[in-house]
Structure 1
Amino acid sequence: MRFNRPVGMGGLHRLGAFAAALTLTACSTLPEPPVRPAVYDFGPGMLVLPATNRMALLPPITLGEVDAPLSLDSTAVLYRLTYADAQQLRPYALARWSMPPAQLVRQRLRESLGQRRSVLNSGEGGAVVPAQLLRVELEEFSQLFESAGKSVGLVRWRASLWDQKGGSEQLRAQRSFVVQRPASSADAAGGVRALTAATDAAVDELAQWLAQVQ
């Protein structure tokens, strides 16, 4: 009858090394956890309510939905390489907006305009409906690369102010706004900061325009 020979110390070391190699091999074949894209918005907005001067209050206004083309109907952070192909919109793989740009823009508009007037959504107001309706069409919202290391945040929209009377609407004024702000870095984070700054500047211009045409 044959018996298995006992394993000596050398054999134990070899078995241990073999087991460790198997463990390392198994670990190396496991899939790596997916990298989650960074999620951006325009920041927290107002942290302190400004003091209200009642003498400076403007008439209430209805803010319609901000329209946008299908290319902007997503949460992708988009950029263009004007030195390669300016007609192609490219999404960053690891960057997302918290909501589509049109919704971010409308949120910023409501917050800013609401500092000096009542801003209502369509259908709000009950028996008293604001005499004017503001509609905004977002046309461009992207990081524009002039070269590999230089880019700007480009925001372009068209605003239309409508008089509401007797259930009908009549166009009162219309204007296009184009604003660029330089990006501090040639990446998604730099593009987001530039687009935020460009949006805030465009909102300020729109508010001044409204005060003139109302």
Structure 2
Amino acid sequence: MKQFRFRPKLCKNAAIVVAAMALLAGCASTKSPVPSSYDFGPVAGPATPTPAAASFPAMVVADVSGPATLDTDRMFYRLTYANAQQALPYAYNRWAATPLQLMSQRLKARIAQGGVKVLSTTDATGGLPLLRLEMDEFSQNFASATQSTANISLRASLFRGHQLVDQRTFTRSAAAPSADAAGGASALAATSDAIAADLLAWLATLPPR
């Protein structure tokens, strides 16, 4: 019978990956044994109206859409140095709402702060421009066991009537202040605000009616 020999180097690498995954999955239980939830925190005070308000005094902003993996309150992270294709859940931490809902609330609030009157798709809209938002990525990715970044990719499409005026994809990232769920939530909130600023700047470049 042929005997199999373990390769020490492979075993060592596997042990390192398993240990790192256990450490990250246990972050919540180590720092906050009681289950906790996170959102993007309070919106900062009203900002000065942006140039976007001159071109678009009012618009309909649809809720952010995206894949089913973003329509859950579970918090995920990826160990890109071990297996970038696998999303792993935090053990004791969840979002206060789904990422799609959090992004919808944040972007609408920021657009309104920029001086644009924001209406929903259920309002009487009579020819107002429509902004559709699709989120392709919303993640906390670990480059090592102690370093991670938040990454958001959002596609925005502006319509007048049934005609597409323009479409733009916005991608932003930010370093997490700590290697845990709290750090990821903080970085994702900052990234969402950066996306909102980019979105308003883009709207300001589009021609008025």
Query: Is 1:142 the counterpart of 2:139 in the alignment?
Result: yes
Write out aligned runs for 1:84-95 (5 A).
84-95=82-93
Which residue of the partner structure matches residue 199 of structure 2?
Answer: 206
Partner of 2:109: 111
- 2:19 is aligned to none
The equivalent of 2:187 in structure 1 is 194
Q: Output the CA distance in 2 between the equivalents of 1:182 and 1:85.
A: 20
Tell me what 2:15 maps to.
none
| 3-state secondary structure, aligned to 1:86 | coil
* Aligned residue in 2 for 1:120: 119
Task: Return closer, same or farther for 1:98/1:130 CA change in 2, 3 Å cut-off.
Answer: farther
CA contact (8 A) 1:78 1:141 kept: no
For 1:167-178, what aligned pairs fall within 5 Å after superposition?
Answer: 169-178=162-171
Partner Cα distance (2:49, 2:117) in 1 = 12
Aligned counterparts, 1:26-41, within 5 A: 36-41=34-39
1:153 maps to what in 2? 150
Equivalent residues of 2:127, 2:160 under 8 A apart? no
Q: SS of the counterpart of 1:136?
A: strand
Q: Determine if contact 1:155/1:178 at 8 Å carries over to the other structure.
A: yes
* 1:50–1:198 distance in 2 versus 1, CA, 3 Å: closer
**What CA distance in whole angstroms lies between the structure 2 residues aligned with 1:172 and 1:52?**
23
- Match of 1:119, as an amino acid? V
Could you say which residue in structure 2 is the equivalent of 1:70?
A: 68
Cα 1:52–1:199 change in 2 (3 A) is closer
Indicate the residue corresponding to 1:8 in structure 2. none
Q: How far has the Cα of 1:141 moved from its partner? A: 0.7
- Structure of higher RCO (CA pairs closer than 8 Å, 6+ residues apart): 2
Q: Verify the 8 A CA contact 1:77 1:92 in the aligned structure 2.
A: yes
Which of structure 1's runs of 4+ aligned residues deviate more than 3 A?
48-53
Q: Secondary structure at the match of 2:126?
A: coil
1:11-26 → structure 2 map (5 Å cutoff): none
Counterpart of 2:145, as a letter, is: A
The alignment's TM-score, normalised by the length of structure 1, stands at: 0.75
* Closer, same or farther: CA 130–91 of 1 in aligned 2, 3 Å: farther
Q: Is the 8 A contact 1:61 1:130 kept in 2?
A: no
Question: CA, structure 1 residues 52+203, in 2 after alignment: closer, same or farther (shift >3 Å)?
Answer: closer
* Aligned partners of 1:153 and 1:194 also within 8 Å: yes
Post-superposition offset of 1:196: 0.7
| Structure 1: stretches of 5+ with no match in the other structure | 1-34
1:131 correspondence with 2:133: no
Q: Which TM-score applies when normalising by structure 2?
A: 0.77
User: Aligned partner of 2:129: which letter?
Assistant: Q
Identity among equivalent pairs (%) = 43
Across the two proteins, how many residue pairs are aligned to each other?
173
